[in-house]
Chains A and B, each alone.
Chain A
Amino acid sequence: MPRDLAHLSDEAIVALAARSDEVAFGELYDRYGRVAYGLALRVLRDEALAEDAVQEAFLAIWRGASRFIPERAKASTWILTLVHRRAVDLVRREERRRADPLEDTDLAGAERSAEDVAWLRFERERVQGALRQLPDQQREAIELAYYGGFTQSELAERLGQPLGTIKSRMFAGLTRLSELLDAPAKGDAWAPTPFTN
């Protein structure tokens, strides 16, 4: 029987999926499939591999939903962490990494709603603005690691820097980025999760 799950929070949807609710699982895909695929595509630069990464990540979500603890992280963080992890695993296996900047993905696709478009665009511009405020070397370390899939020791070799320098750049850069994004980043991580949106 069709149900309207739109009013439920991500965390509530995950809790339903943990009880083998396939409709809820489908809703989760509808909410995060495009962001997940966009992320996987950015890391993998290959549509078939990006599909594989998204499929593997969502099956990990399905299997792991019963162990998700909303007090520790938002569902969006958990989901996108899994997607990123799969994408990075695949890119390392496929030796597909490239470091040149990727052209912007078209945002004008078939979004679920105008609010989604606006919110994603706003969030994206906010993060890109914050990234631009980082010192070049810190931004480079973060972008190569997160979007390029390079490990810190690979980055040290690639950039001709001591490993300790790379570690420091990543740590300083990500911490600074967190401060620049400030309240939402902190609030997102630990705030109690409301039952409904």
Chain B
Amino acid sequence: MGTDPLHELTAAYVLDALDPADEAAYEEHLAHCAACQEEVALLSGTATALALAAGPADPPDALRGRILDAARAERPNVVPLRPRWSAPLAAAAAIAACAVVGLGVWNISLHHRLDRTESALRGVPLHGAAGSVVLGVNGRAALVVTDLAAAPKGRTYEAWVIDGTSAASAGLFHGGEKTVVVQLGRRVRHGSVVGVTVEPAGGSAQPTTQPFITSAAI
């Protein structure tokens, strides 16, 4: 596990046994340490086994109703803004958050449009258009948009994977179909945002306009 003493805290972290200061330090470390992320994923599964081994018990019948009532009182569930979003994206999301975003494309048939070895389960909602970003494994992802008008003559839509302030081109498409599926040419990671801009035909190396479609943070 290398030499960083924080690596050693993985077990205590997944057991919820770190003191608050250690936990904050470890989580900061975890955000940048791929080895620890893998270790946490593995050992979290083991902690789940410990949870199951505690043995189930019947909660009072009334608990179910209380929880559902409390949940109902909290919605609508708007995807929260995250501080790490860049300001323009946060602004776009804030506007979009006020609109009702339809999500009609999250369905089984989508599986067959994507790599069959992957399960396309997770749809990250879009702001600015109906659709979602569907995540496969290892950061592979597809952008799915419905009811998007064709790009204006001489222009193209360009998808971007945006990490912090840097945007990487992830594919060109034209729209005009009921549903368009764009396999993203870049991998996404935790915190990435997928955006779409209108660009001159042939695409641009960097966005020349503000994204008019943005996803929630992956």
| A-to-B contact residues, CB < 8 Å | 9, 11-12, 15, 18-20, 22, 25-26, 29-30, 33-39, 41-43, 47, 50-51, 54-55, 58-59, 62-63, 65-66, 68-74, 76-77, 80-81, 83-85, 88, 104-107, 109-111, 120, 123-124, 126-128, 130-131, 142, 145-147, 149-153, 155, 167-168, 170-171, 173-175, 177-178, 181, 184-186, 188-190, 192-195
| Nearest A residue to B23, CB-CB | A151
The 10 closest A-B pairs by CB, nearest first: A127-B53, A105-B55, A145-B17, A34-B56, A37-B59, A38-B57, A80-B51, A42-B54, A189-B45, A188-B45
Binary CB contact string for chain B from 31 to 68 against chain A (1 if under 8 A, 0 otherwise): 00000000001111111111111111111100110111
Q: Indicate whether A39 sits within 8 Å of B54 (C-beta atoms), given known contacts A15-B123, A63-B74, A69-B135.
A: yes
Pick from B44, B67, B71, B122: contact of A69, CB under 8 Å: B122
Minimum distance in angstroms from A196 CB to a CB of chain B: 9
Instruction: List the count of A-B residue pairs having beta carbons below 8 Å apart.
Output: 233
| Nearest B residue to A180, CB-CB | B46
Instruction: Tell me if B53 and A178 are in contact (CB < 8 A).
Output: no
Q: Contacts of A83 on B, CB cut-off 8 Å?
A: 51
Instruction: Tell me if B77 and A192 are in contact (CB < 8 A).
Output: no
| Nearest A residue to B218, CB-CB | A69
Taking residues whose C-beta sits less than 8 angstroms from the other chain, chain B's interface range is: 35 or more
| B-to-A contact residues, CB < 8 Å | 8-12, 14-19, 22, 41-60, 63-64, 66-68, 70-72, 74-77, 79, 103, 106, 108, 111, 117-119, 121-123, 125, 135-138, 190, 216, 218
